[in-house]
A and B are shown apart, each in its own frame.
Chain A
Amino acid sequence: MKQAEFFNEMFEDGAVRASYQGLQGWMGDMPAELRSLKQAEAEELFRRIGITFAVYGEGGDPERLMPFDMFPRVFAQEEWRRLERGVVQRAKALNAFLADVYARGEIVRAGLVPRDLVYRNEAYEAAVVGFTPPRGVFSHIVGADLVRTGPDEFFVLEDNCRTPSGVSYMLENREIMMRLFPGLFRENRIAPVDGYSEELRRTLASVAPRKCERDPTIVILSPGAYNSAYYEHSFLANLMGVELVEGQDLFVEGEFVWMRTTEGPQRVDVIYRRIDDAFIDPLCFRPDSMLGVPGLMDVYRSGGVTICSAPGAGVADDKAIYCFVPEMVRFYLGEEPILQNVPTWQCARPDDLKYVLEHLPELVVKEVHGSGGYGMLVGPKSTREQVESFRDRILAKPGNYIAQPTLSLSTCPTFVGEGVAPRHVDLRPYCLVGERVTLVPGGLTRVAMTEGSLVVNSSQGGGVKDTWVLSE
């Protein structure tokens, strides 16, 4: 495939697009030595702050640096406004869907979403049926993975309703860019993102449980220091000024959840959990879980504590449910979806399966429950053998796979060995849902550092960029 087929976010018909004009001079003025000096400085900063991530199942340095590309990705104000409306709309619809399927299930009764896809879904939690969390919100932080294929064409690749990660990179990338290139921030009017943590705290406080009659005590529940996202957990706890707890720090007594402190037990009202449903309460879910808190679900269901995201929220970001999100927008909000879905074939359907098997070398095939870029096939980038072995896996369990066309992901200029070259990018903004629904002007831009690659996941060698939204 030739580069020309892809939308380049900086250059259009040989001219620099308006939003990137502030970067043209900067890029031209940067001699190679300065660039490598700045890059080394950035890496030193990341390492010293301790922003690393772990890649499971591989040897090598267990604390690896995320590759950071200094070339920012820029959105014009009007581009962002539209994206923002689309993301907020989608977050509202997903939450309405969750509140519905754990109550009367109107969307299923209306025949818009297949019954089995919801009620037989692995992520559907029978344990919370009939319980409505505070303000009816299930997913308090919705991360949408977006790709762009043209000036106005944005597609949602997938939704993350459970515990989307990466927001610490959004914040730290900005901090580091401001330290490395303060001049850029003086010359360009770039909307700040550092309000995120305060907005997150406000969102969590706004969903305090029924029985909480005071300023709620908020905690972040982490699986512990060996989790790959631990840095982010501690970073957010620090910015919000709340305790970072593990399951062993909490216990249930009476109608409430308590944490063990040096001054005795202290009541906890809102838990922002960064562990999966299956692990939060060994009495309710996996009995072998060491990460959770026995009895937590009882307190939750009786209104003694709020769990964010709510147990059961995962059913909304399932890759099979994904196809129905545009329907949800129409059904619950009575609006037309602003952001489009990527056309998706479900291998569970015989017709779709037939099409997928016939067009395998052109398609991207994903596991329904997979994440992190594992267990997927990128048809055009795979060898004949890889395609054939994947064909066998699909045939063995068709219901486990969906397929999508290979999208022409937009590119953004990126520093590479020989200078600046276009590399494919995606975008994950973080939408907060509580008393209000808000989006900070920015997000996490992931970039595929390898020429031609379309896979931006950090576990597959992807990097990150600072993401700018220009203010008026």
Chain B
Amino acid sequence: MLSRTAANLFWMARYIERAETAARLLEVGERMSLIPSTGAGNRNEWVPLLQANGSHDGFMAKYRDPVQRNVESFMFFDRDNPSSVASCITAARENARIVRTALTSQVWDALNTAYQELMALERTERSELPLTRLTEWTLRSSALIRGAIDATQLRNDGYDFMNIGFFLERADNTARLMDVKYFVLLPRVEFVGSGLDNYQWTTLLRALSAHRAFHWAYGGEVTASKIAHFLILNRQSPRSLLTSVQGVNDHLDSLARGYGTATIAQSRARALLGGLAELTIDEVFDEGLHEFLTRFIGEVSDVGGAVFDVYLSGDTR
């Protein structure tokens, strides 16, 4: 397969996942803003969300005032923000349009329909668009696209590149969503374990559509450590870091089998997986959640870099 085609498939998947994350972040933000401020004075609940998304400076430069309406504009509609839902859906469709030949008509149809609906949303009066409608639309669209991919795409190298894109992005995004929680609590350590703290953790679970799943998996009291375990180390949780890294590994292995040769991308991914699999949740807290997440995001990015160098750049080896 052409390196450029592989790159387009990889980025198409990443953008779809990223759009979904932007919507989930908005959902977290809205829920958190419904409870009283957590700490000294009037900390704004939307600021950590922008920080976790890596777009705080860009937002402040353009909008200044981090109120819900502005954050919504910025994270859903704003084409100047490369991580907004609109930017991501458009970029995903642009990548897909370039590699139409590598996609089934069902996948193209799902993505193109999402794009057409997005254009319709952009023409709709904002007063008629409550935030939940925007976030639910995004989650539904990405589910349709994922479903079309799983149901109709040939299980070839293109399928692997799409899934490597999805899982790398998901690993990165789950880590970032957890980091929001960290930013909200910082620096008031005394809140850890309080009722308020658990309320926020629960909100995080909701944003990851994992609220019910968590109760099925753990039962009993909601504690920070259980939730962190669920989102980092639980193999049953579809968005946990371990599940995501496992997905990256599975599809990299499938590529190596098909191509008959393993590369630095496989060994890096395996090292990351090995490290996670042996970890306990206590060790995560000992290291510090924020420190752990920061390190993890860096390592995921290294795997992505290796995938680019080996497969997507087209550099002749």
Contact = CB atoms under 8 A, between A and B. Distances in A.
Instruction: Decide whether A and B assemble into one complex.
Output: yes
B311 A262 contact: yes
A47 B109 CA distance: 10
Nearest to A47: B116
B101 A249 contact: no
A243 interface: yes
Interface in B50-109: 94, 97-98, 100-101, 105, 108-109
Contacts of B316: 251, 253, 258, 260, 264-265
A248 B313 CA distance: 11
Contacts of B2: 243, 245, 249, 259-262
A258 B3 CA distance: 12
Interface centre among B6, B109, B316 (most CB of A within 10 A): B316
Given A50-B97, A263-B1, 8 more contacts: A49-B105, A225-B97, A230-B97, A231-B100, A246-B4, A261-B1, A262-B3, A264-B316
B100 A238 contact: yes
Task: Tell me what chain B mostly uses at the interface: helix, strand, loop, or mixed.
Answer: helix
Contacts of A249: 2-4, 314
Interface of A: 47-50, 224-225, 230-231, 234-235, 237-238, 243-246, 248-249, 251, 253, 258-265
Nearest to B310: A262
B144 to A, nearest CB: 14
Given A260-B316, A262-B259, A264-B316, A50 B100 contact: yes
Contacts of A48: 109, 112-113
Contacts of B97: 50, 225, 230
B101 A238 contact: yes
A266 to B, nearest CB: 9
**Which 7 pairs show the lowest CB-CB distances between chains A and B?**
A260-B314, A238-B101, A225-B98, A262-B311, A260-B3, A234-B100, A262-B6
A243 to B, nearest CB: 6
B155 interface: no
Interface centre among B101, B161, B259, B315 (most CB of A within 10 A): B101
B317 interface: yes
Contacts of B116: 47
B317 A264 contact: yes
B30 interface: no
A49 B106 CA distance: 10
29 contacts: A47-B116, A48-B109, A48-B112, A49-B105, A50-B100, A50-B108, A225-B94, A234-B100, A234-B101, A238-B101, A244-B101, A245-B2, A245-B4, A248-B4, A248-B314, A249-B314, A253-B316, A258-B316, A260-B2, A260-B4, A261-B314, A262-B1, A262-B2, A262-B3, A262-B157, A262-B259, A262-B312, A263-B1, A264-B316
Contacts of B312: 262
Nearest to A264: B317
Contacts of A259: 2
Contacts of B100: 50, 231, 234-235, 238
A261 B317 CA distance: 11
A250 to B, nearest CB: 10
Contacts of A243: 2, 5
A271 to B, nearest CB: 14
B99 to A, nearest CB: 8
Nearest to B108: A50
Nearest to B97: A225
A244 B311 CA distance: 18
A50 B112 contact: yes
Contacts of B113: 48
Interface string B6-21: 1000000000000000
A251 B313 CA distance: 14
A201 to B, nearest CB: 14
A263 B157 CA distance: 10
A259 B316 CA distance: 10
A262 B312 CA distance: 7
Contacts of A261: 1-3, 314
A264 B1 CA distance: 9
Interface in B114-169: 116, 157, 161
B112 A263 contact: no
Contacts of A225: 94, 97-98
A240 to B, nearest CB: 10
Contacts of B4: 245-246, 248-249, 260
Interface in B271-314: 311-312, 314
Nearest to A263: B259
Contacts of A258: 316
Interface centre among A48, A234, A237, A261 (most CB of B within 10 A): A261
Contacts of B315: 260
Contacts of A235: 100
B107 to A, nearest CB: 12
A235 B108 CA distance: 13
Contacts of B314: 248-249, 260-261
A56 B4 CA distance: 26
Contacts of A253: 316
A259 B3 CA distance: 9
A237 B3 contact: no
Contacts of B259: 262-263
Contacts of A248: 4, 314
A49 B105 CA distance: 8
Interface centre among A225, A231, A262, A263 (most CB of B within 10 A): A262
Contacts of A244: 101
Nearest to B93: A50
A171 to B, nearest CB: 15
A253 B317 CA distance: 13
A139 B108 CA distance: 34
